[in-house]
Amino acid sequence: MAPKRSSTSRAADESRQPVYSEAAMRNNAAVLEYSRTCQAAAAGIASGILGLTSLPGFVFYFATLLIQAIVWEAKSGFKWNNYFLDRSSSVTHSLVSGLFTYRAMPKKVAYYYDGDCGNYYYGQGHPMKPHRIRMTHNLLLNYGLYRKMEVYRPIPASFEEMTKYHSDEYMLFLKNIRPDNMSESSKQMARFNVGEDCPVFDGVYEFCQLSCGGSLAAACKLNQKQADITINWMGGLHHAKKSEASGFCYANDIVLAILELLKHHQRVLYVDIDIHHGDGVEEAFYTTDRVMTCSFHKYGEYFPGTGDLKDVGADKGRYYSLNFPLRDGIDDESYERIFVPVMQRVMESYQPGAVVLQCGADSLTGDRLGCFNLTLRGHGRCVEFLKKFGVPLMLLGGGGYTIRNVSRCWTYETAVALDTDIANELPYNDYFEYFGPDFKLHISPASMINQNTREYLEKTQIRIFEHLRELPAAPGVQMQPIGDEGIFQPDKTLLEDHADPDKRLPSVVKDKLVEHPGEFYDGGKEGEKDAQSHKRTADEADNEAKKSKVESEEMEA
Amino acid sequence: MATTGTTNPQTAKNMYRVGDYVYIETSNDAPYAIRRIEELVKNANNSVEARVTCFYRRRDIEKMLLKVADTAERKFEEYYDREEKKDEVKPTTNGETEKGVKKEEIEKSEEIPQNGSSSKTDELEEKKVDEGKAKEDKEENDGVEELRREWGNAGLPLGADKLNGTQRHLFRQRELFLSRHQETVSCNWIRGRCMVTLLNEVEDLDCYQKDDCFFYSLVYDAANLTLLADKGTIRVGNKYQAEIPENVKEEEEDENKENGDALVIDEEAQEDAQEEAQEATSQDGAHRKMALTERERIIFHPKHSLTDQEIDQFLIIARAVGTFSRALDTNSSTRFPTLHMVAAAASRDVTLFHALALLHQAKYDLGQAVRYLCPPCNKDTYPFEAEKATGLHTTSLGGPILCRDQLEEWSTAESNLFEEALEKYGKDFHDMRNDYLPWKSVRDLVEYYYMWKTTNRYQESKKQKTQDQESKLKQVYIPAYSKPNQNLQSNSTTGVPIKGPKACESCQKEESLQWFKWGPQSASLFICQDCQGIWKKLASINQPHQHDIYDMKEPEREVAAKTALANADKSGASRVQPLNRGGSGLVIASVPSNHPALQASRATAEAGGSLNAQIAAATAAQISMLRGAASNEGALNLTTSGSSAADPKGAGKNRIGFTMVTNVLGKLARKLVSKEVLNLRRSARRPFKDLKSNEIRDSVIRTEPARLYQAANTIRAMTPQQFVTVYQSFMGITGAAKRPATDPVGAPAAKRAA
């Protein structure tokens, strides 16, 4: 610290006209701030170790704050007016931001899960198994992570919500297709790419509703600032296109979630560590600068074939799509060596308001479809790194076809999000036998050749940095008041199911329950109206038939 | 032969795993084929076979395709230029995909490579200079055009333009073409490991100029004779992009957003508010109202005053209640003979999930939660919300709560039915439900199935499955190949280099440890040991040479084709297996749709079964030729041993205006067979009438070899030796058994005739 008055001001001092050295003032303020930040961080750590949370934690913080103020006083030789304009500044200075440093230590985590999602079955021999989500859930319970976070069951997404991105006809098709009527609509199935990789299975639409509902809820949660990290392992289906299914994905919950986040954030960053390229999300936001998509994936003779280094976006979105093509067998160390600097640079230059991380677990070693060589640590490191920035973060599932490793991975990443260490011994759970023969959490890498040479990775990284340099300083949009935001349009039928039986139904739902005027009654209502109502029935039936005909014609067109 | 993971460096070198790229020796003359191992299968007689994906060398590809591919604008910088240019001209035309645009441009460049933009002309000039150099290099050779098998720098990594003609030629040999074609080969043919990578724009020449290093950038489609860029495109247009909401909610102020402070302040304010709320309510132990959005239903949260230990205690009580309730439940008490099993059943995760949900409903009041565990028979005393939240259906009021999952719900009879059904239908739960367990839902079946997998009964059935899978290997040990090559001319036994019969054709060296024959026999050329290695791996000697593809020329080529095909046939069903994403690529080069070779190769693709595209094309060309000329039925048997299933309709469909060259035996058949058996004019007028193929063949077989040879000589001058090879192979296939004397007699007869 420097005395606030410079030597030249002494004379002025004598004439009782205080003159301050501006440089010294500023320096002192800076010193105070650094010191306060250090104190807050140290106090945060200390209170974390001592287990002081909520009220005792605050008391502890203020206690350390006072101690520090006293230390400052001592340092200034108890002549505060030599250094500060105001005595109280030693206590109050950057109290708020210090409190933030202090507060930022524990993260609030919201976790989304629906007990039904494990029971959807893609079909015999299909590698995608929603059951892995339930396995993760059970592991979380038995590791005791369940009770450390807020656990939510999301409301399923409605048709209207899903058509915020997807085309109406595609969603209508998904809604109506069932295994027993699919032979009638083979033409449409071909058009929407449903059939081979993306089979029609029982409840495919509901499955989409669940995964989208989870991600939308997670996005809302972040928007309302009710959580720092939200997790939805049911989501992350990144291949689905606007009106096309692709790569086991039907409805793109990620795009819907990002659209929701965009209502509150100017810029959203999407990061994809699935082994497959996140083509659905990249395509959805290819021409906008409000979403930056980054994908680290295997490229070359691999599904979906997109994601070349050269694909950087188009129009306004040019250089807002980042693709890091990788080759077979990348290991933890190499992955971290590229992920950390690239994401560091992206976070700095893009400054997103929220981050969505797709944690596809098919980039783990030994995956049924993958060919990377990552372990849980390397995979989880990405979560850890992105969490560090303190930006609202959404973790989503994705690929992963060796289900025991998928549930291991997502359990570990939940623990990372919660800042909790978990034992390597797996706790007993309903699906314990799946994790044999070692019953350990962590997996070891395979002995395969890492075809990503250091040279290749470095050169690619340099090229990516060149692209990032093209980015202007964080882009924004004009602030304008907008009307009713986030109009909640729950699915009417499912809402009914989810409604509290003890409470009066909301009028939206109740209106739906009003019986059709053309309904036949057994009760005493039959009478003079009867003839009329019959007539109306006929008319309405006619109308409806016409309407559906028109609709189907439109579909054909 | 197959061993498991010892990591001795020597054995590691000879250990081949799935996913490795390997050299495969198909013939003594030919260079190695490059393949990637997809699957290793041990078959009945204990030999190991590999299912491999083919990578084609340049020599295996149609010349005109290469020409287009080499001159196509595939250089990386130009991609950028072009994209920018395109942006100027048509700023992302809606609906039209980028794919379409690119394709169009490449087709254009295919047609008129001369009228490109300025940058292109620069490149062209450069190319011409290169060509000129190359010409100088090879001036002494007459057939310059014949020699040239590369046309430009396209498809080469950065820095390729620095190479001179010969260097570039050698480097070009490292370029491969991926195919979607897979075949099965014996592992004994593996001769070493190599590395194939996708050509990458950031790496320069040196990265690829290592030993055993190859690269590819295009996919060769043997069926359509096209080269595709293995690249999908992100489509641009209203049909593909999401509509981005224009505005951000106002409450977040700009400056706050910029420095990321918005969160801090809001959060803190919120936190304070929550803190106050908690303070206000924590005294009476009621749980604090959680902030909820409309999109969710809360099941559990950690903001309560209970310690971990207290929760654990509560969970134990829940399990205890579960155990007791099972004792009361007649169904369960008969199922579980011992108390241990009851306790285990009561400790399943479903009980714990439910207990935690109840705890939440009790507002984290342990006393209330325990009361919920054994509710009296009154609807108001139990929070049904808990069931809504977890999706469990466990309610039985008036007594201890009983939570059961599917594993427990199912009776023994039901699980027996399930196992029976599983055996019959596999995992088709729909059929299983319809035929066996109609009172269960498909979801129940799925849930039960996954739980059933943890039981002993599954372990037993799995044992059989793993036995089946044992035939699939992860890796295979193949000892270094030591048998001498048949082309070995002389070998130094003393370890001292010996002088070859001639200077090495490739490096002009005089002395080497081993000397190999190289090139067609008539030329009698030799190469040294080192150059043999290069030749086998890179399919080229040190400079472009007129005999570069000698092993693929007649008649040796035909023989090679035959043996290869026979081998492919023997080694089981090799098949064309398209990868998941066919057709998403971008066509770089293709032949006109009426090109004969294209149709021919299509026919073979249908027949499914060829070792490489050249052979395939050759084979199938003869099939279609057969239809075209409606003559040499005999030739069919000579050449299509591997593809007898060829669909003649497919080959004959569009045979408008192209000429075909009939092979010798085909021509012979025309000359020798009597009019009654084969009347060319007659059959030409009746294109759909079948030829009497057997009769034609028989009459050829019955003909004197000497007469055959004479006739053959009038068609094409050939040495008796050559003729004998062709003839013998023909006889070998058409069932020489009919006339066993043919082979020994044939050769001398031919000689006599000569």
DSSP string, A264-318: T-S-EEEEE-SSS--HHHHHHTTT-SSEEEEEEEE-SS-TT----TT----GGGT
Question: Is the minimum CB–CB distance between B90 and chain A shorter than 8 Å?
Answer: no
Question: Is the minimum CB–CB distance between B631 and chain A shorter than 8 Å?
Answer: no
Question: Is the minimum CB–CB distance between B23 and chain A shorter than 8 Å?
Answer: no
3-state secondary structure A339-391: HHHHHHHHHHHHCCCEEEEECCHHHECCCCCCCCEECHHHHHHHHHHHHCCCC
Give the separation between CA B596 and CA B620, rounded to whole angstroms: 10
Tell if the CB–CB gap between A262 and B245 is shorter than 8 Å. Answer: yes
Give the separation between CA B706 and CA B318, rounded to whole angstroms: 99
Taking CA atoms, what residue in B is nearest to A392? Answer: B263
Contacts of residue A310, defined as CB under 8 A and 6 or more positions apart, other chains included, come to: B76, B79, B80, B201
Within 10 Å of residue A520's Cβ, how many Cβ atoms?
Answer: 11
**C-alpha neighbours within 13 Å on the C-beta side of residue B318:** 25
Tell if the CB–CB gap between A482 and B266 is shorter than 8 Å. Answer: no
**C-alpha neighbours within 13 Å on the C-beta side of residue A368:** 13
Query: For residue B406, what pLDDT is reported?
Result: 85
Taking CA atoms, what residue in A is nearest to B259? Answer: A351
Give the separation between CA A393 and CA A380, rounded to whole angstroms: 14
Residue A104 pLDDT greater than 60, yes or no: no
Residue scoring higher pLDDT (A219 or B636): A219
Q: Which DSSP state fits B252?
A: S
Chain B: closest CA distance from residue A92 (Å): 16
Residue scoring higher pLDDT (B257 or A58): A58
Query: For residue A295, what pLDDT is reported?
Result: 96
The 3-state DSSP composition of chain B as helix, strand, coil percent (nearest 5) reads 50, 15, 40
In this structure, is the dihedral angle defined by the CA atoms of residues A459, A462, A467 and A468, taken in order, positive or negative? positive
CB-CB: which of B79, B430, B580 is closest to A202?
A: B430
Residue type, A344: Q
Chain A: closest CA distance from residue B324 (Å): 21
Token output for A22: 């501006």
The H or E element that residue B103 is part of is helix B98-111
Give the separation between CA B248 and CA A529, rounded to whole angstroms: 53
Contacts of residue B622, defined as CB under 8 A and 6 or more positions apart, other chains included, come to: B600, B635, B636, B639, B640, B663, B666
Chain A: closest CA distance from residue B83 (Å): 10
Chain A: closest CA distance from residue B265 (Å): 8
Pairing relationship of beta strands B498-499 and B213-221 according to DSSP bridges: unpaired
Tell if the CB–CB gap between A434 and B453 is shorter than 8 Å. Answer: yes
Residue scoring higher pLDDT (A156 or B220): A156
Angle of helix A95-103 versus helix B262-282 axis, rounded to 10: 70
Give the separation between CA A96 and CA A6, rounded to whole angstroms: 30
DSSP string, B226-249: EEEE-------STTTSPPPPS---
Q: Which residue has the tokens 């304009």?
A: A85
Tell if the CB–CB gap between A309 and B202 is shorter than 8 Å. Answer: yes
Question: Is the minimum CB–CB distance between B95 and chain A shorter than 8 Å?
Answer: no
Confidence of residue A313 (pLDDT cuts 50, 70, 90): very high
Query: For residue A290, what pLDDT is reported?
Result: 93
- Between chain A and chain B, how many beta carbons pairs sit less than 8 Å apart? 291
Tell if the CB–CB gap between A119 and B230 is shorter than 8 Å. Answer: no
- Is B47 exposed, middle or buried, given 0-12, 13-18 or 19+ CB atoms closer than 10 A? middle
Q: Indicate the range of A74-78, A469-473, B136-140, B368-372 predicted with least confidence.
A: B136-140
Reported in sequence order, the residue ranges of A172-284 that DSSP labels E, i.e. its strands, are 229-232, 268-272
Query: For residue B159, what pLDDT is reported?
Result: 73
- Is A367 exposed, middle or buried, given 0-12, 13-18 or 19+ CB atoms closer than 10 A? buried
Peptide bond before A304: cis, by omega within 30 degrees of 0? Answer: yes
Q: Which of A93, A131, A166, A239 is catalytic?
A: A239
Give the separation between CA A480 and CA B188, rounded to whole angstroms: 72
Give the separation between CA B17 and CA A42, rounded to whole angstroms: 52
Q: How many helices (H) and strands (E) does chain B have?
A: 33, 17
**What phi and psi, each to the nearest 5 degrees, are found at residue B180?**
-95, 20
Buried b (16+ CB within 10 A) or exposed e, B459-491: eeeeeeeeeeeeeebebbbbeeeeeeeeeebbe
Contacts of B443 in chain A (CB under 8 A): 116, 119-120, 203
Mean of the per-residue pLDDT values for chain A?
A: 82
CB-CB: which of A114, A118, A460 is closest to B447?
A: A118
CA A42 from centre of chain = 30
Tell if the CB–CB gap between B308 and A371 is shorter than 8 Å. Answer: no
Q: Which residue has the tokens 């081949």?
A: B16
Question: Is the minimum CB–CB distance between B735 and chain A shorter than 8 Å?
Answer: no
Give the separation between CA B491 and CA B497, rounded to whole angstroms: 9
Q: What is the dihedral of CA B372, B376, B381, B387, to 10 degrees?
A: 60
Question: Is the minimum CB–CB distance between B308 and chain A shorter than 8 Å?
Answer: yes
DSSP string, B713-748: HHHS---HHHHHHHHHHHHHHTTGGGSTTHHHHHHH
Is A238 one of the annotated active-site residues of the chain? Answer: no
Confidence of residue A206 (pLDDT cuts 50, 70, 90): very high
Q: Which residue has the tokens 């989880």?
A: A380
Chain B: closest CA distance from residue A382 (Å): 21
Residue scoring higher pLDDT (B624 or A72): A72
Give the separation between CA A405 and CA A403, rounded to whole angstroms: 5
Q: Running along chain B, 754 residues long, what does each successive block of 10 average in pLDDT?
A: 46 79 84 87 82 87 78 49 36 37 37 36 39 41 46 71 77 85 86 85 78 85 78 86 77 41 42 45 43 84 91 94 87 83 90 91 92 80 73 65 84 89 87 89 91 80 68 76 73 74 78 79 79 82 74 53 46 37 48 55 44 43 44 36 36 43 68 74 76 75 75 69 69 47 41 42
Tell if the CB–CB gap between B352 and A141 is shorter than 8 Å. Answer: yes
Residue scoring higher pLDDT (B174 or A285): A285
In this structure, is the dihedral angle defined by the CA atoms of residues B608, B609, B614 and B615, taken in order, positive or negative? negative
Q: Which DSSP state fits A2?
A: -
Taking CA atoms, what residue in A is nearest to B279? Answer: A55
Chain A: closest CA distance from residue B234 (Å): 6
CB-CB: which of A155, A285, A286 is closest to B296?
A: A155
Contacts of A367 in chain B (CB under 8 A): none
Query: For residue B11, what pLDDT is reported?
Result: 67
Identify whether the C-beta of residue A421 lies closer than 8 Å to the C-beta of residue A257: no
Give the separation between CA B185 and CA B51, rounded to whole angstroms: 6
Residue A531 pLDDT greater than 60, yes or no: no
Give the separation between CA B724 and CA B730, rounded to whole angstroms: 10
B499 beta partners: B511
Query: For residue B179, what pLDDT is reported?
Result: 86
Query: For residue A418, what pLDDT is reported?
Result: 93
Compute the C-alpha angle B446/B449/B450, nearest 5°.
90
Contacts of A502 in chain B (CB under 8 A): 384
Q: Which residue has the tokens 């959005």?
A: B293
Strand order from edge to edge, sheet including A150-154: A321-326, A291-298, A268-272, A354-358, A393-396, A229-232, A109-112, A150-154, B296-300
